[in-house]
Amino acid sequence: MALPQDDMGQGEHVFVDILIYGDSGAGKTFRAATAPQPLYVMSPDPTSHKAIPYKTPGKRVASLDDVQEVVNGFYEGGHGFNTLLIDGLNFLHDMFVQAVGQQYHDERGAQDADLMPIQGRLKVQAMFSRFLRSVIDLSQVDNVDDRVHVIFTTLSERLKEDDIAPFQIRPMIGTQKMNEKFPAMFSVVSFIYARGGEDKNGNLDKTREMLFTPQHGVMAKDRIGIFPDAGEAPDLSEYLYQRKKGGK
């Protein structure tokens, strides 16, 4: 069910935050890029440009300073975008780990920036949590005209067999603890996967499907209740509010 339509044919003035996850090559970036235009992509993933439509505006980020510059630009307003897509949340987490590890290396003489004590790991978790919240909150900033849909993509994590299902699948965000706790921060969590098997012509069925409610040990949710429970991956622009260019 798409958002209710107003008298201008647009969805209600509601902006949402979404986490899309799946295996490498599952179509996360391509599907996220169907969000309302204009779309701005911030990409920590070094290979994401291969899946992003050519005309989609955005930039690759190589440092936390680059990341913060983009986010600050959205908070300053007047950006004219409908959606901010951060492509590769797990790669973004690696940036935080490297930055904190380098700080321990520089200030405390550690021999390896990748090795840090528990205090360092807790610092990464706290910094990353604050950052995610600051980005998610872009969908609810005070000035309605500056709000955007916020979409993150990340890889999936498959857990070992348990009593609930033969396996469990959940987003890969950072540490095991983050992967368990941080999905609760998002309004929508969706798992994307290739249908597989053969189509009616005997060819490999490459159709992508998405889950928006949990099934058989797969983590998913839709707190705002606008997406189908499961089925062929939708065009997100059919479900999300679109601010007209040149208008409000």
Does pLDDT of 125 surpass 60? yes
Confidence of residue 112 (pLDDT cuts 50, 70, 90): low
Tens-place pLDDT, residues 57-75:
888 888 899 999 999 999 9
Mean pLDDT of 80-101: 91
Residue 62: predicted pLDDT:
86
Average of per-residue pLDDT across 223-241? 94
Q: Residue holding tokens 């949990």? A: 214
Which CA distances in Å does 135 have to 89, 118, 220?
A: 12, 26, 20
Instruction: Judge whether residue 111 has pLDDT over 70.
Output: no
Instruction: Write out pLDDT tens, residues 29-42.
Output: 889 999 998 888 88
**pLDDT, tens digit (0-9, with 9 covering 90-100), for 98-107:** 888 887 767 7
154 pLDDT exceeds 80?
Answer: yes
pLDDT at 100: 86
Dump pLDDT digits (tens) for 161-180: 555 555 689 999 998 889 99
Looking at the chain, the whole-number percentage of residues with pLDDT higher than 90 is 52
Write out the CATH class of domain 17-238: alpha beta
169: Cβ contacts below 8 Å, ≥ 6 apart: 156, 157, 158, 159, 191, 217, 218, 219
pLDDT band at 159 (very low <50, low <70, confident <90, very high): confident
Mean pLDDT calculated for residue range 211-217: 91
For residue 189, the cross-strand partners are 19, 221
What angle separates helix 118-136 from helix 64-76, to the nearest 10 degrees?
30
Q: In 10 A of CB 210, how many CB atoms?
A: 24
